[in-house]
Amino acid sequence: MSEYKTFNADDAIAFADEHSELFGEHSKLSAEELADGDLNLVFRVENDKGTSVIVKQALPYARFVGESWPLTTDRARLEAEVLKMHRRFCPEHTVEVRYFDPVACAILMEDLDDYRILRAELNDGKKFNHLAPQMASYMANTLFYTSDFVLSSENKKAEVARFLNPELCLISEDLFFTDPYCNHERNTIEPSILEKAKTLWHDDALKAEVAALKASFLSKPQALLHGDLHSGSVFINSDNCKVIDAEFGFFGPIGFDVGTLLGNLLLNYLASPGLHDAEDSASQQAYLLEQAEQLWLQFSETFTELMNRETQDPALENNLYQQRFLQQVFSDAAGYAGCELIRRTVGLAHVADLDSISDAALRTQCQRNALKLGRELIMQRSELNNINQLLNLVRYQQAD
Amino acid sequence: MSEYKTFNADDAIAFADEHSELFGEHSKLSAEELADGDLNLVFRVENDKGTSVIVKQALPYARFVGESWPLTTDRARLEAEVLKMHRRFCPEHTVEVRYFDPVACAILMEDLDDYRILRAELNDGKKFNHLAPQMASYMANTLFYTSDFVLSSENKKAEVARFLNPELCLISEDLFFTDPYCNHERNTIEPSILEKAKTLWHDDALKAEVAALKASFLSKPQALLHGDLHSGSVFINSDNCKVIDAEFGFFGPIGFDVGTLLGNLLLNYLASPGLHDAEDSASQQAYLLEQAEQLWLQFSETFTELMNRETQDPALENNLYQQRFLQQVFSDAAGYAGCELIRRTVGLAHVADLDSISDAALRTQCQRNALKLGRELIMQRSELNNINQLLNLVRYQQAD
C-alpha cells in the first residue's frame, strides 16, 4: 500500500491475511466492524476455524460529542510502539501488537474476544480479585523499566523524543487541566450541577494546584506512560487483565497513570449507589476500596523491589531517595485521580458509571460527590501519607 | 567545505573572511589562537583597521586534566542554537553568533575584546554593580521565554527534542551528581581534605538529596538552560556582561542555571580570605553577598513580572501557582548551588578561586568551608524561604 486510505471490511481482511501467519485463505475470512470511539476503525477478522485478529486503523480526524477536528494518524505508530515497549516489560497484561503498517496507520493485534471492557463489568457489579494485583504489576513494570532508574540518560532522552506525541498530549492537557476550570464550550455539564461546576471556575486555591499538576504533566518525563489508563482501556476476564489503547502514551509523570486508574475505581465507587440496590452497592463499594488499596500497595511493593534490585544509575540507588520518590508518585497519583474525577463529571468526556445512573436526583448527588472528592484529593495530595488516609477521604467525604 | 577538518590560523582567516561582512581582503587579515579549554579551538581574526571577530571550532574530543575522550562536534550546533535563542530574549547580555557552519562545526561570533572573564575579575577583587541586575535579567528573560509559560506544548516538545544534548548532559550528570559522592577516579581531591571528602561518600542523607537534584536535572525540562553558567562563562567590562559558551545547553530545571551562577559567587566569597588581605577580603565578601542577594531578588522580580504579563497558557496564569513555582525554583537553585560548591572542591573540574590560594592551610580551610556550605545548601534548600535566609547560612557557617 503506497498511500493512506480508509479501510473497508475487505481491506481489513486483506491486511489481516497478508500480515497474520495464521491465515492464508482470503476467501475463508470474514470481517466485522466493532464499535469504538470516533477516532479509529476497528475490525475483527476471523477465519472459518474461529481464529480471529483485530485490525485497528487510525482515522485522520477525531470526533467527540459531535465536534470533529483533524488529528495525526501518527498516533497509530505511537500506540503500536508504546504497546510493544510495555509488552516487553509486562507481556502478561499488555495486548500483543503483531504488525504495524505506517502507511495505512493500521495495527494488527491479538483479539481479546474472551475479555470484556473493565468499565462495563464494574458497572454490572462484577468483582475480580486479580484486577488490582495484575494492574499494579502492569504499572510497576512498564513504568519502572522506562524510567531514569533503568534507562541511561542518553537512551532516555532519545526515547522521550521518539514518544513526544504533542497532538494527543494537547487533548489531555486541555481536557484534564484547563477546560473543567473555566467556562469552556467543550464542557458537558448537567444543569443540576452547573452551580457547583461554576465554583470550580473561581476556585483559585484549587486552580493553583491543578496548574502544578498540569506543569508536571508538561515537564516531568519520568517514564513512558500509557497516558489514558481509564477502565475503558482495560480488558478483563475471569483470569486476566490486558491493557489496550495506548495512543496517548508519552513520557510523563508516573503518578498520572496510577492516578487515572485509581480515579476510575473511585468514579465507579461514587456511582455505585446509583447503579445498584443498597446491598449490592455496599458490597461493590467494599470491593472497590479493597482493590484501590491493593492497587497502590502492590504497585508500591513491586516498584520498591525493582528500585532495590534493578536500578542502573548508582546515584539513584539511595534508599531514602527511592522512598521519597515513591511518596511523591503517590501524591501525584492522588492529584491526578482528583483531576480525573472532576473532568469526567463536568468536562467533555464523561463516563458511563455516572452518566448511566437513571435516577436524576441520585445522579446529581453522585456527580456532586465526584466534584467534592476530586477537589479534596487535589488539595490534600501532599498531606496524604498513605493509601489508607486517601481511602478515608473517600469513605468519609460527604457532598455539601 | 565538505568535511570536518581541524582549523589552523589560515583556515580561521578564510572562514572569517567568507562569512563576515566587515572583511573582504583576506591578505590584510591576521589570526591569533586564544587559550581556551581543551574542547575547542578559538581564534581571533582581525583586519588592519583593528576590527576583529572570534572563530570557535569544536574539537572531536574533550581533554580534562590529561584525560581525553571523543565528544560529539554537534555541540557546536547546540552552542550556536542556544546562544541564538537566548539572544532573541536577551540581546544585551548574550554574545552574538554571526555564522555557524555545521560541517566545520565552527561558529563566527562577536569578539568581546574589551571584556574580561568574570572569574578572573572577581579573583582580582574587582567589583561591578551591574553584575547582578544584568545577569538576573539574562536569566529571567532567557528562562521565562523558553518555558511552559510561553511556549505552546507542541512547540515546547519540539524544542526539547531539538536540544536533547545527551553527550554534554552526561558530563554534567557525572561531574555534578555522581563523582563527588563516591570514590571516582575522575575526582581531584587534595590530600588535606581527603578525610572530609570521604565523609561525602557515606553521607546517605546528603546522597538522597543529591539524587533528587539529579533526577530533576534528568527529567524536569522547564526551560532552555545555558547549562554551564559559572563565572568563566560570563564576560564583563565596566558597563556590561555578556554570556558565552552555551554548549551544555538543554531543557532542564530553571534552578540549575540560577544555582550554578549563585554557587560561583559563593565560591568566590569562600575563597576571598585566601585571595586578599583581611580588609580587601571583607570588602569583597560584602560585595559578593550584595550581588548574590540582588541576583535572586531581581531575577525573581523580573520573572514574576513576566509570569504576570506574558503567560500564554491560561491554566498557568494562577497567581498562587506562580508564586509557588518561583519558590520551588529558589529551592532548586539553593540545592544546585550547593552541588556546585562541592563538585568544584573535590570533583574533576576545580576553580581558580580556590585552587589559586597559595597558602596551603588557608586553601584547605576554604575548601572545607565550601564542602560544609555546599552540604547545608543542599540539605536545607526546601526550608529556605528567601535569599536572606540563604545568605545567613553563608554568613554564619563555620567549618568544623
Tens digit of pLDDT for each residue in A325-342? 999 999 999 999 999 999
Domain boundaries, chain A: 9-110, 116-399
- Would residue A149 be called left, alpha or beta, if left means φ above 0 and alpha means ψ between -120 and 50 degrees? alpha
Q: Judge whether B138 and B94 are in contact, CB under 8 Å.
A: yes
Which architecture characterizes domain B9-110 according to CATH? 2-Layer Sandwich (3.30)
Q: With bands split at pLDDT 50, 70 and 90, how would you rate the model's confidence at B61?
A: confident
Q: What is the pLDDT of residue A28?
A: 87
Cβ contacts below 8 Å, chain A against chain B, sum to: 119
For residue A166, give the nearest of B157, B177, B214 by CB distance.
B157
Is the full-model pTM beyond 0.90? yes
Task: Name the interface residues of A facing B (CB cutoff 8 Å).
Answer: 148, 153-154, 156-158, 160-161, 164, 166-167, 169-170, 173, 177-178, 181-182, 204-205, 207-212, 214-215, 218-222, 313-316, 318-321, 324-325
A211 with B166: Cβ contact below 8 A? no
Fold of A116-399: Aminoglycoside 3'-phosphotransferase; Chain: A, domain 2 (3.90.1200)
Best residue in A148, A153, A220, A256 for a mutation probing chain B (most B CBs within 10 Å)? A153
Rounded to the nearest angstrom, the minimum Cα separation between B73 and chain A is: 16
Q: What tens digit of pLDDT does each residue of B183-237 get?
A: 999 999 999 999 999 999 999 999 999 999 999 999 999 999 999 999 999 999 9
Query: Cα dihedral sign for B286, B288, B292, B294?
Result: positive
- The total of other beta-carbon atoms located within 10 Å of residue A382's CB is 15
Backbone torsions φ then ψ of A320, nearest 5 degrees: -65, -45
Rounded to the nearest angstrom, the minimum Cα separation between A78 and chain B is: 15
Q: Residue B342 is placed in which grid cell?
A: 562541592
B164 with A169: Cβ contact below 8 A? no
Rounded to the nearest angstrom, the minimum Cα separation between A181 and chain B is: 8
Q: Where are any strands of DSSP class E within B80-182?
A: 97-101, 106-110, 116-117
| Rounded-to-integer distance, Cα B349 and Cα B353, Å | 12
pLDDT mean over B306-314: 97
Rg (Cα) of chain A, in Å, rounded?
A: 21
Q: Read off the amino acid at residue B244.
A: I
Q: With bands split at pLDDT 50, 70 and 90, how would you rate the model's confidence at A399?
A: low
Query: Is residue A37 pLDDT above 70, yes or no?
Result: no
B158 with A177: Cβ contact below 8 A? no
Residue of B nearest to A159 (CA): B161
Q: Judge whether A102 and A263 are in contact, CB under 8 Å.
A: no
User: A212 to chain B: which residues are within 8 Å by CB?
Assistant: 321, 324-325
For residue A360, the SS3 value is helix
pLDDT mean over A180-199: 97
For residue A205, give the nearest of B164, B205, B320 by CB distance.
B320
A269-278, B20-29, B68-77, B325-334: range with lowest mean pLDDT: B20-29
Residue of B nearest to A179 (CA): B315
User: B325 to chain A: which residues are within 8 Å by CB?
Assistant: 212, 215
| Rounded-to-integer distance, Cα B183 and Cα B375, Å | 18
Instruction: Single out the residue of A71, A61, A75 nearest to residue A107, CA to CA.
Output: A75
Q: Where are any strands of DSSP class E within chain A?
A: 30-34, 40-46, 52-58, 61-64, 67-70, 97-101, 106-110, 116-117, 223-225, 234-236, 241-243, 250-252
Q: Judge whether B17 and B26 are in contact, CB under 8 Å.
A: yes
B153 with A169: Cβ contact below 8 A? yes
Q: Residue B208 is placed in which grid cell?
A: 538522597
Query: Is residue A264 pLDDT above 60, yes or no?
Result: yes
Instruction: Single out the residue of A54, A136, A61 nearest to residue A98, CA to CA.
Output: A54
